[in-house]
A and B are shown apart, each in its own frame.
Chain A
Amino acid sequence: MSLPNKRTISNTSNTNHTSSMKKAKSQTVACSVDSAKNGLHHDFNNTNNPDNDVVFDPSSLSLDEDLKTDDSRAPAAANLGRKKAQPPQPAKKLVIKLVKGKPTLPSNFEEDTWAKLKSAIKAIFLKQPDSCDLEKLYQAVNDLCLHKMGGNLYQRIEKECEAHISAALQSLVGQSPDLVVFLSLVERCWQDLCDQMLMIRGIALYLDRTYVKQTPNVRSLWDMGLQLFRKYLSSYSEVEHKTVTGLLRMIERERLGEAVDRTLLNHLLKMFTALGIYTESFEKPFLECTSEFYAAEGMKYMQQSDVPDYLKHVEIRLHEEHERCVLYLDVSTRKPLIATAERQLLERHISAILDKGFTMLMDGHRTEDLQRMYVLFLRVNALESLRQALASYIRRTGHGIVMDEEKDKDMVSSLLEFKASLDTIWEESFYKNEGFCNTIKDAFEHLINLRQNRPAELIAKFLDEKLRAGNKGTSEEELEGTLDKVLVLFRFIQGKDVFEAFYKKDLAKRLLLGKSASIDAEKSMISKLKTECGSQFTNKLEGMFKDIELSKEINESFKQSSQARTKLPSGIEMSVHVLTTGYWPTYPPMDVRLPHELNVYQDIFKEFYLSKYSGRRLMWQNSLGHCVLKAEFPKGKKELAVSLFQTVVLMLFNDAQKLSFQDIRDATGIEDKELRRTLQSLACGKVRVLQKLPKGREVEDDDSFVFNEGFTAPLYRIKVNAIPDEGNSGGEHKHYRESIPGPSISGSPPLLHVDAAIVRIMKTRKVLSHTLLITELFQQLKFPIKPADLKKRIESLIDREYLERDKNNPQIYNYLA
């Protein structure tokens, strides 16, 4: 072990001193020594000095470098930068010194030397200049140590320190009731002590390096100072208590929004740390206070503010507490502090937050607030509660979409919209949490299957609308996107066969009527279904496309055939779709007596077909045939797109003015119910080529029909819609029966509701004035609707012969049975 001699210490001190002074650096030992020598008190408490903290950090004293650190409470962090100023000293010089100073020793040597030192220490404590040269003081300590008087010296220094420290702390007893003032006094006292102990240590450095180091269970001078401060702080318990209370008050004030002296807080808390009493004396009561504070605040704010504001507040609070740890609390406090705040502000209110605000945030699609909720809940392990809330929200909201029969028309688009909104929230707010994803899936699967086959049917119907021609304004990409989204819903369906049946029925219609918007889109949909359900599912659907392709070829070769060229009467442009039984939906056979000319056409085609494909039977599906007629009405020529059945009925009127229902039935041989529907479509629908006598919505046995001489229509080409066959698909179809023309404007109630309400009222009242009808409607509808719109609906129902105006008073309506 090499001990540095006094020369080297002195030299280093001076070097160090000058360099640090130049840089206006903070307190080093050399610097302190210098101040003492000049009798000036160096102001350690200069809060503007950025390096000021060093005062409170005894470890910044680089001279500790090779001192023993038996006191485990000594701060561990060392100012490493400082060490460079202390190069290791060569050991040879020490040997020369020792030989020189050994021989003589005056009898009063120890007392005299101590007197010098004692006066210097007293001066330091009194902050007074001392006459004795620093160099001599070092020498004095060195001399005493060299003559093995270190133990005595140590005890004497300790006694001096204890007297001073005890007095200093006692002087704080009964001091200012103003907590901030009091805290400043404590801070001052602490800083002074640090400052003074550093100076004393600077002088007695040799003691620290020799006696202290070589003797077990003796504290370094610095630690001795700390120990004494700790001892008297706790024995004058009022001082300690007031300090802690003051700190807690200040922090509470800051939490309440006041600006407080954070530097003061920082310094005092560093003092607690340096004294080793931070956890026991400060942190414990501090965490208790925090808990109480946030318990009260949590209760109050939960009542006062709405959930998004509350969450924002919590977020801010947690951030503030975090900052507090950076600014003045000890780092070790961060975890328990944040946990305390989280427990009081969040954990205790999880279910209340969800009950009060989750639905509102979801309904409002407030992704930012939901994200905040997610992040906060994540902190307190409450994601499971959030997930459950999500599950029940989806079920509740979805239930409203799926179970309301009145809303069937919009079910699929509503579900798609709902799903899209959930997906966005999942991505933007819930960090794509996998568990949440499964929750959404499970909830949707539950929803879709709430009503057995209905959703499957509606999804097929929705696809039909999308894939149908006339779906303008949708690009191929958009259509693809929609198909993909629908497929997501499709995946949840348990009754895939039901879907297939409906899809097939609609696809057949699109293909046979040439109504497909795009064959590419159709095929893309089929391949998507194939991917989902395998080729078993789509084989027959693909077969339908094949039939359509093949039919084109057959028609081409038929046109070229000798049969067609020689035997076919001219005039009618005929094309045939030949369907493979088994690929297509099964259509019930329907009889019809065709005009002779049409029979000829069919026979010739059949002959041609069977000559090409032997071993087959060919059956005409007359209920699927459709035609284009040219009609000359007195008010103009029109082209009518009609079904074969409609055609057969209309053709009868080429030879007759008026025909009874019976006449028509006999002439066409069309089955009773089908015929009534056909006649209804021609005489009671939107386009009325025939007139029914008497008027009315239903076709009765005694009714007769005449050609509508007064027929007008704005367009040249007119489609006469068939009345859908309600018997085919069960009672749930009733809502579709009368399809109301015109797009339904989103946000306004579906026109169907209005129509249904009018019919309901009139059915019970039979006769009602306009005013009374309107009044009853407003009561029944419960949603805002303009009187002008109601009037339009009434007109429409009069057109469709649900109602009529009274012949004597146009303000009175009669219900037509």
Chain B
Amino acid sequence: MILFRWHAVASWTWDAQDETCGICRMAFDGCCPDCKLPGDDCPLIWGACNHAFHLHCILKWVNSQTPQAHCPMCRREWQFKG
């Protein structure tokens, strides 16, 4: 009995420390309030401080905090993780 073809199935989720986005309070499994679909359509982004947010949420945040935005969680200067 030899296995020669295998269709495997895997599912992926975001690998964030928190369950929810610190800005919009929505689950990372879901999407930000502006989006309809989670996943690639509404990606997460990490800061240098290692806090993750919906990309759409942090962009809005950063744009509203001039000249310098800080991480909404730890108040450190916001830098996108390289």
- Residues of chain A having any CB pair with chain B under 8 Å: 512-514, 535-536, 539-540, 543, 546, 550, 571-584, 587, 598, 601-602, 605-606, 609, 613, 615-622, 624-632, 644, 647, 650-651, 653-654
**Nearest 7 A/B pairs, CB to CB:** A580-B39, A624-B9, A628-B5, A579-B11, A621-B9, A582-B38, A617-B15
B22 CB–A CB distance under 8 Å: no
Q: How many angstroms between the C-alpha atoms of A546 and B11 in the bound complex?
A: 14
Whether the pair B13, A615 counts as a contact (CB closer than 8 A) is no
Q: How many angstroms between the C-alpha atoms of A402 and B52 in the bound complex?
A: 51
Instruction: Report the minimal beta-carbon distance from A265 to chain B, rounded to whole angstroms.
Output: 81
Since A583-B37, A628-B6 are in contact, a sample of 8 more A-B pairs with Cβ atoms closer than 8 Å, ordered by chain A residue number, is A574-B8, A577-B9, A579-B9, A582-B29, A615-B14, A621-B11, A622-B8, A629-B2
Q: Interface residues of A: mostly helix, strand, loop or mixed?
A: mixed
Whether the pair B10, A598 counts as a contact (CB closer than 8 A) is no
Q: What mask results when residues 42 to 74 of chain B are scored 1 for a CB within 8 Å of chain A, else 0?
A: 001010000010000000000000000000000
> How many residues in B have their beta carbons less than 8 Å from beta carbons of A?
27
Which of B4, B6, B7 is close to A598, meaning CB atoms less than 8 Å apart? B6
Instruction: Report the minimal beta-carbon distance from B72 to chain A, rounded to whole angstroms.
Output: 18
Whether the pair B8, A625 counts as a contact (CB closer than 8 A) is yes
Whether the pair A578, B11 counts as a contact (CB closer than 8 A) is yes
Whether the pair B12, A618 counts as a contact (CB closer than 8 A) is yes
Instruction: Report the minimal beta-carbon distance from A307 to chain B, rounded to whole angstroms.
Output: 56
B52 proximity list for chain A (CB < 8 A): 615
Instruction: Report the minimal beta-carbon distance from B45 to chain A, rounded to whole angstroms.
Output: 8
A630 proximity list for chain B (CB < 8 A): 1-2, 4
A572 proximity list for chain B (CB < 8 A): 3-6
- CB-nearest residue of chain A to B38: A582
Q: How many angstroms between the C-alpha atoms of A761 and B14 in the bound complex?
A: 56
- Residues of chain B having any CB pair with chain A under 8 Å: 1-16, 29-30, 36-41, 44, 46, 52
Q: How many angstroms between the C-alpha atoms of A650 and B36 in the bound complex?
A: 43
Q: How many angstroms between the C-alpha atoms of A653 and B52 in the bound complex?
A: 48
Which of B5, B40, B41, B44 is close to A627, meaning CB atoms less than 8 Å apart? B5
Whether the pair A575, B8 counts as a contact (CB closer than 8 A) is yes
Q: How many angstroms between the C-alpha atoms of A543 and B36 in the bound complex?
A: 11
Which of B10, B29, B44 is close to A618, meaning CB atoms less than 8 Å apart? B10
Whether the pair A579, B10 counts as a contact (CB closer than 8 A) is yes
> Can you list 27 A-B contacts with CB-CB less than 8 angstroms, sorted by A residue number?
A543-B39, A571-B2, A574-B8, A575-B6, A575-B8, A576-B8, A577-B10, A581-B11, A581-B39, A582-B29, A582-B39, A584-B11, A587-B11, A609-B10, A609-B12, A615-B44, A616-B12, A616-B13, A618-B11, A619-B10, A619-B11, A621-B9, A625-B8, A627-B3, A628-B5, A629-B3, A644-B8
B46 proximity list for chain A (CB < 8 A): 615
Whether the pair A536, B4 counts as a contact (CB closer than 8 A) is no
Whether the pair B38, A580 counts as a contact (CB closer than 8 A) is yes
Instruction: Report the minimal beta-carbon distance from B78 to chain A, rounded to whole angstroms.
Output: 17
Q: How many angstroms between the C-alpha atoms of A631 and B4 in the bound complex?
A: 10
B3 proximity list for chain A (CB < 8 A): 572, 598, 627-629, 647, 651
- CB-nearest residue of chain B to A613: B12
A647 proximity list for chain B (CB < 8 A): 3, 6
Whether the pair B12, A580 counts as a contact (CB closer than 8 A) is yes
* Inter-chain residue pair count (beta carbon < 8 A): 138
Whether the pair B10, A621 counts as a contact (CB closer than 8 A) is yes
Whether the pair B13, A581 counts as a contact (CB closer than 8 A) is yes
Whether the pair B4, A619 counts as a contact (CB closer than 8 A) is no
**A574 and B15 in contact, given A536-B36, A581-B29, A582-B39 (Cβ under 8 angstroms):** no
Q: How many angstroms between the C-alpha atoms of A539 and B1 in the bound complex?
A: 42
Which of B1, B11, B29 is close to A631, meaning CB atoms less than 8 Å apart? B1
Which of A540, A617, A625, A629 is close to B7, meaning CB atoms less than 8 Å apart? A625
A644 proximity list for chain B (CB < 8 A): 6, 8
- CB-nearest residue of chain B to A652: B1
B39 proximity list for chain A (CB < 8 A): 543, 580-583
**A619 and B6 in contact, given A580-B40, A581-B29 (Cβ under 8 angstroms):** no
B16 proximity list for chain A (CB < 8 A): 615
Which of A575, A619, A654 is close to B1, meaning CB atoms less than 8 Å apart? A654
**A577 and B7 in contact, given A539-B36, A617-B15 (Cβ under 8 angstroms):** yes
Q: How many angstroms between the C-alpha atoms of A626 and B36 in the bound complex?
A: 32
B37 proximity list for chain A (CB < 8 A): 539-540, 543, 583
Instruction: Report the minimal beta-carbon distance from B44 to chain A, rounded to whole angstroms.
Output: 6
Q: How many angstroms between the C-alpha atoms of A630 and B30 in the bound complex?
A: 42
- Give the one of B1, B15, B16, B46 with max A CB within 10 A: B1
B44 proximity list for chain A (CB < 8 A): 615
Instruction: Report the minimal beta-carbon distance from B8 to chain A, rounded to whole angstroms.
Output: 5
Instruction: Report the minimal beta-carbon distance from B2 to chain A, rounded to whole angstroms.
Output: 5
Q: How many angstroms between the C-alpha atoms of A601 and B38 in the bound complex?
A: 28
A576 proximity list for chain B (CB < 8 A): 7-10
Whether the pair A512, B7 counts as a contact (CB closer than 8 A) is yes
Whether the pair A620, B10 counts as a contact (CB closer than 8 A) is yes
Instruction: Report the minimal beta-carbon distance from A587 to chain B, rounded to whole angstroms.
Output: 8
B12 proximity list for chain A (CB < 8 A): 578-581, 609, 613, 616-619
- CB-nearest residue of chain A to B39: A580
Whether the pair A580, B11 counts as a contact (CB closer than 8 A) is yes
- CB-nearest residue of chain B to A627: B6
A574 proximity list for chain B (CB < 8 A): 5-6, 8
Whether the pair A619, B8 counts as a contact (CB closer than 8 A) is no
Instruction: Report the minimal beta-carbon distance from A105 to chain B, rounded to whole angstroms.
Output: 118
Q: How many angstroms between the C-alpha atoms of A584 and B30 in the bound complex?
A: 13
B15 proximity list for chain A (CB < 8 A): 615-617
**A629 and B11 in contact, given A580-B38, A615-B46, A615-B52 (Cβ under 8 angstroms):** no
**A573 and B6 in contact, given A619-B13, A651-B1 (Cβ under 8 angstroms):** yes
- CB-nearest residue of chain B to A606: B10
Which of A535, A625, A650 is close to B6, meaning CB atoms less than 8 Å apart? A625
Whether the pair B9, A582 counts as a contact (CB closer than 8 A) is no
A628 proximity list for chain B (CB < 8 A): 3-6
Which of A580, A583, A601, A625 is close to B9, meaning CB atoms less than 8 Å apart? A625
A605 proximity list for chain B (CB < 8 A): 8, 10
Q: How many angstroms between the C-alpha atoms of A574 and B38 in the bound complex?
A: 27
Q: How many angstroms between the C-alpha atoms of A634 and B40 in the bound complex?
A: 51
Instruction: Report the minimal beta-carbon distance from A616 to chain B, rounded to whole angstroms.
Output: 5
**A602 and B1 in contact, given A535-B36, A540-B37, A617-B13 (Cβ under 8 angstroms):** no
A602 proximity list for chain B (CB < 8 A): 8
Q: How many angstroms between the C-alpha atoms of A574 and B2 in the bound complex?
A: 14
Whether the pair A573, B38 counts as a contact (CB closer than 8 A) is no
Whether the pair B1, A629 counts as a contact (CB closer than 8 A) is yes
Q: How many angstroms between the C-alpha atoms of A724 and B7 in the bound complex?
A: 20
